Structure formats: structure tokens, C-alpha cells
Structure 1
Amino acid sequence: MVLLKLFLSYFKIGLFSFGGGLAMLPFIQEELIEKHGWINPAEFVDMLAISQVTPGPIAINAATFLGFKINGVLGSAVATFSVIFPSFIIIVTIAHFLERFKHSKYVKWVFDGIRPVVLGLIGSALYLVGKQSLSDIKGILIAIAMFYLVGIRKINPMICIVGAGIAGVLLY
């Protein structure tokens, strides 16, 4: 029964999330923490951190991580498959019809309407992660430093991740 719940939860996340992994975070939070109680908010932030530093899309990494936590390797396989399966179906369907409708003003309007939603979802994820991660001045200083180094100075994010990890060890 847990595998079916895992499949349905991640299928829904994959089906209704536009804009990539960060835009999925509010849906993931609702399903994993609020609806099923599979993890708590602190574990959610840890899952995001692990998902960000491992190669691959955050949503797939998070699904694999949580699936393993819930039901081992089989849970990982089910969660990972179910989060990518809706995208696969949608992309195949769109590719089939895109040539016919790519110049439609209605298609353009749909995408124009979806873009602000994606920004809002990413903002919601930022708020959620910020609320959990920025609980003291040390965390705030690390976040500001990383924003400056990656966003403004254009330093390689991997170097900054390693630096933030070292800062965490030294400061905490």
C-alpha cells in the first residue's frame, strides 16, 4: 500500500509541477510533510541539500532519496519512475501536436500564463527553505556570502558548496 501512495504522490507532483525542480518544492512539501508525514521540515531541507549537491535534477534526486527512506531500493525506483512518468507522457504528446499548433496564439497565451506561476512557486520554495535554513545569524551570513559569490561574482557553484560546507563545520 505504501508503494501505491508513493507512486500516486510523486505522479501528482510530476504531473502538476511546471518549471522544474525548484517549482516542485511546494508540491513536494505538501505531499511529503503535510499529507503523509513521511518526513519533517528539517528532513525536507536536508533532502533538498542532498538533492542539490548530487548530480541530476533535484526532483528526481529528491524522489529517489525519499523513496529509499520509505521503502528501500524498490521505493526509490517507484518514486523516481512516478515523478518522471508524467513529464514523459506530456512531452511525447506535445511533440506529436506541436508542429500543428506552435503558432497558435492560444498556446502562446497558455505559456504566458504559466511563466508567472513558475516564478511564484520558486518564490514559495525559497520562503520554505529560507524559513528552515536561516534560523540564526551564521546561516544568514553563509546564505548572503553564497548569493554574492555565485550570483554576483559568478564563482563556480561547486566551489561555493564546498566552501559553505567547510563554513558550516567551522561555525557549527
Structure 2
Amino acid sequence: MDRKMRNKTTKTSSLKANADIFAAFFRVGILGFGGGPSAIPLFHAEAVKKYKWMTEDEFGDTLALGNTMPGPIATKMAGYIGYRVNGVIGSIVALVAVVVPTVLLMILLLGTLQQFKGVEWVNSMSAAVVPVVGVMLGVMTWDFLKKSGQSLGWPRGILFTVIAAILMEGLNLHPVILIVGILLISLLSFKKGGGTA
């Protein structure tokens, strides 16, 4: 009897976890206008602030590692966070929630927009989304700057930010190369300092 009750509780908690995963990533998929970068603040809001599935540091590490791998950031983040919350099933639920609604909406909306692409209100509607995405990215950038200022100290955090901006914008260095380079430098510094990898 006790085992049956435990199994029932486990199934209920697993269903609740999957429902939460689906709801969270459905919102990200539907509201993430502009692709991966604009969805990152939404992932943060769901995974860190609302459901508390991970800490700020864990989210930052996940995002950094996700950016070093090929493929869209939205599917990588959804797959990993879903897996972390409820294993393989959670990962599948998160991927379906973030991808399928968006694909269906894309087919529906693009078909509709093609019919009305010359209409002024359609063009205005598309243009109005851009500032909102810009603000979302700005807020996320400020959060990451504060985090780096607290962990590295403000002078070093600002210096690294300026160097990264010069390398990526001035010299057109791909962000993946920069992230991998920083990870390697950090790893080598850690080994030289006597730490264990």
C-alpha cells in the first residue's frame, strides 16, 4: 500500500513538473520575438525567477556553454533545463513546447502577412516589436554586467567587457572563439594556481 502511494505521488509530481516545463517553454516559444537572443531574458524569467530551477550563476554558465555549441540557443537551453528538471521526458517536453507552437504560428502568420504585407498597420506592428526586444536585451545585459562586477570586481569586469566589445565589434571575432578562449585561459590559470581540474 505504501509503495503504491509513493508511486502515485511520484507520477503526480512528474506530471506537475512536465506541465510546468511545458507552460514555461511554451511562453518562451510564443513570446520570443526575434529568435534566440530575445528569448534569453524569457528563459531567465522562467527558469531562475519564476520556477527557481537554477540559480543566476548556473543560468549564466548554461548560457555561456550553450553559446559555444552549434545550433539555436533556444532549443539548447530548453533541452538542457527540461532534462535538469525531469530527465529525458522533461527535455522532450521542453523541446516540443518551445519549437512546435512557434513552427505552427510561423506557418500561419507568414501566410497571413504575405497577403497583407503592403498594409501600413502590419508594417507598424512588426516595427513596434523591435524596441521591446531591445529593452529586454538591455536589461539582460545589465544583469550580466552586474554579475561580472560582483564576481570579478568592477574594474576587471568593465575591462573585460570593453575588450570583448573591441574584439567582437571592432575585429569581428566570433563570440564562440572569444568564449572558448576565455574558458581555456581560465582553465590554464586554475591549473597553474594549484587547483585540480
CA distance, structure 2, for counterparts of residue 153 and residue 8 of structure 1: 41
For normalisation by structure 2, the TM-score amounts to 0.80
Equivalent position of 1:46 in the other structure: 61
Structure 1 equivalent of residue 17 of structure 2 = 2
CA RMSD of the aligned region, Å? 1.8
Contact 1:146 1:164 in 2 (8 A): no
- Residues 20-169 of structure 1 mapped to structure 2, 5 A cutoff: 20-135=35-150, 136-137=152-153, 138-169=156-187
Deviations 1:31-83 (A, max 9, x none): 11121111111111111112111111111111111011111111111111111
Of structures 1 and 2, the larger Rg is shown by 2
Does the Cα contact within 8 Å between 2:25 and 2:78 map onto a contact in 1? yes
Amino acid at match of 2:61: D
The answer on whether the counterparts of 1:24 and 1:59 sit within 8 Å (CA) in structure 2 is yes
The structural deviation recorded for 1:29 is: 1.8
Alignment-mate amino acid for residue 97 of structure 1: T
State the TM-score, normalized to the length of structure 1. 0.90
Give CA deviations for 1:85-132 in whole Å, capped at 9, x if unaligned.
221121111132123111110100101111111111111121222222
Count of equivalent residues: 172
Which residue of 10, 13, 17 corresponds with 2:28?
13
Identity percentage of aligned residues? 30
Does the 8 Å CA contact 1:64/1:80 hold for their aligned counterparts?
Answer: yes
Question: In 2, distance between residues paired with 1:12 and 1:76?
Answer: 16
Higher relative contact order by CA 8 Å / sep ≥ 6: 1 or 2? Answer: 1
Task: Output the CA distance in 2 between the equivalents of 1:133 and 1:54.
Answer: 22
Any unmatched runs of 5+ in structure 2?
A: 1-15, 191-197
Q: Which runs of 5+ in 1 are unaligned?
A: none
